[in-house]
Every structure is written in C-alpha cells, then in structure tokens.
C-alpha cells in the first residue's frame, strides 16, 4: 500500500496507495434541495452478498445500483454502462454489466430516504493501474435544516476489481428518524478509467 493522502477535499496528492480510504465529514446548517424524485423509505429486500469477505451483514441494493437495466434515476457525466460485471457476481450469476467512469467522469444515484439504523454502504470498484488517479465517493445527506457530506477517496494503482471497505453514512436524522441521502462517485486526479458495480447499503439490523 502506498502513502496515504491527508485530505482529498483540499487537493489530490500524487502517489496514491492501492486501496486508500480517507473519510472527511463536514456539517452545515443551510438546506440543500433534494432531487425532485426521492426514493421513499420502505421495506427493504436484503441479501448477504459479502460473506466471502467476512461480512455477514445484510444489505439492500441502491435503486439502479447493479446497472443491469441501465441508469434510470442516475445522473451521469462521462460515464456509461459497459459489459463486464464484478467477477464474483454476488447478486446474480446472470449479471453482466457495470458502470464505467472516464476521465473527470461522475455518477450520482437517486436521492433516497434512509431510515433509522441504515448506516453504511459498500461498492465494488475496478481501479486503474495509475497511482495518480482516484475515485471520490461522496455521501450527501439532508435532514430538516441540517446538511452533511461524508467523502471517501479510493486510490488507484490496484488494477482489477476490489470491494470497498464499509463507508459510513452521516447520521443527522430529524425527529421523524429519516434523512435524504445521495451517493455519488467522481473520478479525480490524473484521467483514468474506473468501473463500479453493486452499490449496497447496510440496514444495520444484522449487526
């Protein structure tokens, strides 16, 4: 593993490690408008997709997060669905697609209501060999008058598919016990192609 950068929110450092995750949490009091079509809080269909990685927690898939049926509800820039699933095919043996982010590419999933005890996410990613390319994962949360962003960076240099660590969702739920969450992915640093697949959220009830 290479050197760990300090704060990606300020600048991208050269020489990123193969699998570097750096959390940055910011909290504001100004409201940010949520997307018009927010996926409501509802019952979740869960699986245990990461048992091979010693993670027996239950997860549900973000809407459109397998990219098997296109990118409805997602906002894309320099990104597109391509052939090639994460190789373990944890959700279905028939899955065959993933999302590719080109240089300066980005993808934001649909805004969705997150309820009590839904607190973390994981995603498969395929990093380029370039150590100066990175993937920025931003979790934007709004609740009442509060806004929070949790930002994680993943460094390039580990060519091939990997599973991210657990990435925590900020908890700023209001009296209703709910908040609105938008998860986005952005290619940063030197331009290089990344792929992501199977965006999964842990309802925490399995812990």
Give per-10-residue mean pLDDT for the chain (207 aa).
33 37 43 53 90 95 96 97 98 98 97 84 96 97 91 92 95 87 97 96 65
Supply the pLDDT for residue 44.
Answer: 84
Supply the pLDDT for residue 34.
Answer: 37
Q: Is 23 helix (H, G, I), strand (E, B) or coil?
A: coil
Half-sphere exposure at residue 176, Cβ-oriented, CA atoms within 13 angstroms: 10
Give the CA dihedral 167, 66, 141, 41, nearest 10 degrees.
Answer: -120
Supply the pLDDT for residue 92.
Answer: 97
Contact between residue 179 and residue 118 where contact means Cβ atoms under 8 Å apart: no
End-to-end CA distance of the chain: 29
Supply the pLDDT for residue 42.
Answer: 82
> Model pTM greater than 0.75?
yes
What is the phi/psi pair of residue 31, to 5°? -80, 145
Number of residues written out for the chain: 207
Contact between residue 188 and residue 12 where contact means Cβ atoms under 8 Å apart: yes
* Rg of the chain over all Cα atoms, to the nearest angstrom: 16
């Amino acid at each position: 593993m290479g050197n760990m950068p300090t704060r990606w929110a300020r600048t991208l450092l050269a020489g990123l490690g193969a699998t570097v995750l750096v959390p940055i949490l910011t909290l504001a009091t100004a409201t940010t408008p949520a997307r018009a079509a927010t996926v409501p809080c509802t019952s979740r269909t869960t699986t245990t997709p990461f048992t091979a990685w010693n993670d027996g927690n239950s997860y549900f898939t973000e809407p459109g997060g397998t990219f098997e049926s296109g990118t409805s509800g997602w906002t894309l820039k320099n990104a597109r669905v391509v052939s090639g699933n994460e190789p373990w095919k944890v959700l279905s043996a028939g899955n065959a697609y993933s999302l590719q982010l080109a240089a300066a590419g980005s993808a934001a999933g649909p805004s969705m209501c997150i309820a009590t005890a839904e607190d973390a996410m994981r995603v498969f990613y395929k990093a380029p060999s370039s150590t100066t390319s990175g993937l920025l994962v931003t979790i934007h949360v709004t609740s009442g008058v509060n806004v929070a962003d949790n930002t994680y960076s993943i460094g390039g240099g580990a060519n091939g598919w990997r599973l991210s660590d657990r990435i925590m969702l900020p908890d700023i739920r209001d009296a209703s016990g709910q908040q609105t969450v938008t998860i986005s992915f952005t290619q940063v640093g030197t331009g290089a192609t990344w792929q992501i697949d199977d965006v999964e959220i842990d309802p925490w009830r399995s812990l």
